[in-house]
Amino acid sequence: MTHPDIRKINPIHFIAGVLPLLFLTSNIILIPFLPPPLTTILPILPQILIPLIIHHFPLPVPNNPITLPNFTPLIPIPIPIIFLPLF
Protein backbone atom coordinates (compact mmCIF):
# COMPACT_ATOMS: atom_id res chain seq x y z
CA MET A 1 0.00 0.00 0.00
CA THR A 2 1.40 3.42 -0.89
CA HIS A 3 0.37 7.01 -0.61
CA PRO A 4 1.25 9.38 -3.47
CA ASP A 5 2.74 12.09 -1.22
CA ILE A 6 4.39 9.83 1.34
CA ARG A 7 6.59 6.74 1.26
CA LYS A 8 5.36 3.16 1.31
CA ILE A 9 3.04 2.37 4.22
CA ASN A 10 4.29 -0.53 6.32
CA PRO A 11 1.67 -2.69 8.14
CA ILE A 12 3.57 -2.17 11.42
CA HIS A 13 2.33 1.44 11.36
CA PHE A 14 -1.11 0.17 12.31
CA ILE A 15 0.07 -1.35 15.60
CA ALA A 16 -1.19 1.71 17.52
CA GLY A 17 -4.72 0.90 16.40
CA VAL A 18 -4.58 -2.86 16.94
CA LEU A 19 -3.10 -2.95 20.45
CA PRO A 20 -5.87 -0.89 22.13
CA LEU A 21 -8.42 -3.03 20.34
CA LEU A 22 -6.89 -6.15 21.90
CA PHE A 23 -6.68 -4.57 25.35
CA LEU A 24 -10.27 -3.32 25.36
CA THR A 25 -11.71 -6.50 23.87
CA SER A 26 -10.01 -8.58 26.55
CA ASN A 27 -11.32 -6.16 29.19
CA ILE A 28 -14.89 -6.52 27.93
CA ILE A 29 -14.59 -10.31 27.95
CA LEU A 30 -13.17 -10.32 31.50
CA ILE A 31 -15.65 -7.83 33.04
CA PRO A 32 -17.74 -10.53 34.76
CA PHE A 33 -14.64 -12.02 36.39
CA LEU A 34 -12.75 -8.86 37.43
CA PRO A 35 -13.51 -6.47 40.30
CA PRO A 36 -14.77 -2.99 39.31
CA PRO A 37 -11.55 -1.06 40.13
CA LEU A 38 -9.55 -3.34 37.88
CA THR A 39 -11.99 -2.91 35.00
CA THR A 40 -11.49 0.85 35.41
CA ILE A 41 -7.70 0.57 35.35
CA LEU A 42 -7.47 -1.72 32.31
CA PRO A 43 -8.76 0.80 29.70
CA ILE A 44 -6.37 3.46 31.03
CA LEU A 45 -3.29 1.22 31.05
CA PRO A 46 -3.00 0.80 27.24
CA GLN A 47 -3.24 4.56 26.77
CA ILE A 48 -0.11 4.88 28.89
CA LEU A 49 1.77 1.78 27.70
CA ILE A 50 1.27 1.94 23.94
CA PRO A 51 2.99 5.34 23.43
CA LEU A 52 5.92 4.07 25.49
CA ILE A 53 6.14 0.93 23.37
CA ILE A 54 5.87 2.81 20.08
CA HIS A 55 8.44 5.47 20.96
CA HIS A 56 10.96 3.26 22.70
CA PHE A 57 11.34 0.16 20.56
CA PRO A 58 12.89 0.19 17.09
CA LEU A 59 9.75 0.62 15.03
CA PRO A 60 9.82 2.71 11.85
CA VAL A 61 9.15 5.88 13.88
CA PRO A 62 11.59 8.14 15.74
CA ASN A 63 12.83 6.40 18.88
CA ASN A 64 12.85 8.14 22.26
CA PRO A 65 14.36 6.48 25.33
CA ILE A 66 12.06 5.87 28.30
CA THR A 67 12.81 8.58 30.85
CA LEU A 68 11.40 9.21 34.32
CA PRO A 69 8.71 11.67 33.10
CA ASN A 70 7.56 9.06 30.58
CA PHE A 71 7.57 6.29 33.17
CA THR A 72 5.93 8.27 36.01
CA PRO A 73 2.29 7.59 34.96
CA LEU A 74 2.95 3.85 35.26
CA ILE A 75 4.00 4.08 38.92
CA PRO A 76 0.52 4.47 40.52
CA ILE A 77 -1.12 1.76 38.37
CA PRO A 78 0.05 -1.30 40.42
CA ILE A 79 -0.97 0.25 43.77
CA PRO A 80 -4.73 -0.50 43.55
CA ILE A 81 -4.00 -3.89 41.99
CA ILE A 82 -1.79 -4.81 44.95
CA PHE A 83 -4.20 -3.52 47.63
CA LEU A 84 -7.40 -4.76 45.97
CA PRO A 85 -7.29 -8.27 47.51
CA LEU A 86 -6.93 -6.78 51.00
CA PHE A 87 -10.42 -5.22 50.90
pLDDT (tens digit, 9 = 90+) per residue, 2-13? 556 666 667 777
Q: What is the mean pLDDT of residues 63-78?
A: 78
1-10, 21-30, 59-68 — most confident range:
21-30
Q: For residues 81 and 77, give the distance between their C-alpha atoms in angstroms, rounded to a whole number.
A: 7
Give the long-range contacts of residues 25-31, CB within 8 A, separation 24 or more.
none
- pLDDT above 60: residue 45: yes
